[in-house]
Amino acid sequence: MKVTVIGYWGGYPGVNEATSGYLFEHDGFKLLVDCGSGVLAQLQNYIKISELDAVILTHYHHDHVADIGPLQYARLISSYLDETTEELLIYGHQEDGEAFSNLTYKKVTRAEAYDPDQHLKVGPFSIAFMKTSHPAVCYALRIEAGGAAIVFTADSSYITDFIPFSRNADLLICETNLYAEQDGSKMGHMTSKEAGIIAKEARVKNLLLTHLPHYGNHMILLKQARETFQGNISLAKSGWTFKG
């Protein structure tokens, strides 16, 4: 299983970059996890838009779904050019009915609901869900394929449920929107220290800090996480890849 960071900024994209978007690939199947602002432009550095097999969304905040509309237009234009004929399935939760319904568009994309209490099979991927602590209903994902497991926290303040959910993962992609001295409990975001705690207690093999803030020195986030977790830690950046 391979994952490529398409976008990693929190809130809004940095210059020439994107907010949340991650491309998962296994056995030729291409799954996009979240489709935030700027993701569609960045995605084309790696694959053609017509090559996408499915999309799954953790929640409906703009920095995770802003490029769904442009993606739908792109698939529509591809259908006119006979480059794409099949509907693209976009998986999301139904706890925001209006946002979920907007995932269906002119027979080029179709909304497909996931049940957070059940494992979801998407191509070669098996996906488990965990509800996070965030102002919008949001689900963390545990994605498994080929004997590897990757956990994406999506957006959340710290909750201990992340520890069993992430247990022994090959990679933990953990939102780190705040520095160690800050308090994200009301914001629905985590600190570098909390990311390190989850990684340590869950005994993950690798930790990727993502959903990064637009201020401060990101190297400090890395240093603070390392005070707790002694394993491999990386800062997300466009094009960063992991194979497990």
User: Beta strand 88-92 with 109-113: parallel, antiparallel or unpaired?
Assistant: parallel
pLDDT of residue 202: 98
* In the predicted structure, residue 237 carries a pLDDT above the cut 80: yes
pLDDT digits (tens, 9 = 90+) for 23-67: 999 999 999 999 999 999 999 999 999 999 999 999 999 999 999
Average the pLDDT over 85-114 and give the result: 96
| Separation in Å, CA 66 to CA 19, 24, 56, 113, 128 | 9, 19, 13, 19, 24
Cβ-contact 38, 17 below 8 angstroms: yes
Mean pLDDT for the stretch of residues 182-200: 97
Helix axes 218-226 and 192-202, enclosed angle (nearest 10)? 40
Tell me what the mean pLDDT of segment 77-95 comes to: 89
Closest CA to 55 of 46, 45, 42, 65: 65
Per-residue confidence at 81, pLDDT binned at 50, 70, 90? Answer: confident
Q: What is the CATH number that goes with domain 2-243?
A: 3.60.15.10
Interval 137-184: pLDDT, tens: 999 999 999 999 999 999 999 999 999 999 999 999 999 999 999 999
Give 105-130 pLDDT, tens digit per residue: 999 999 999 999 999 999 999 999 99
| pLDDT at position 131 | 98
- What average pLDDT does this structure show over 67-83? 92
How much is the pLDDT for 72?
97
146/86 Cα distance (integer angstroms): 26
Distance CA 80, CA 214 (A): 39
Say if pTM beats, i.e. exceeds, 0.95. Answer: yes
pLDDT reported for residue 84: 67
- Please state the rounded mean pLDDT for residues 212-217: 98
Determine the Cα–Cα distance for residues 23 and 38; give it in Å rounded to an integer.
14
pLDDT at 85 over 90: no
Mean pLDDT (the chain, rounded):
97
Residue 103, pLDDT above cutoff 90: yes
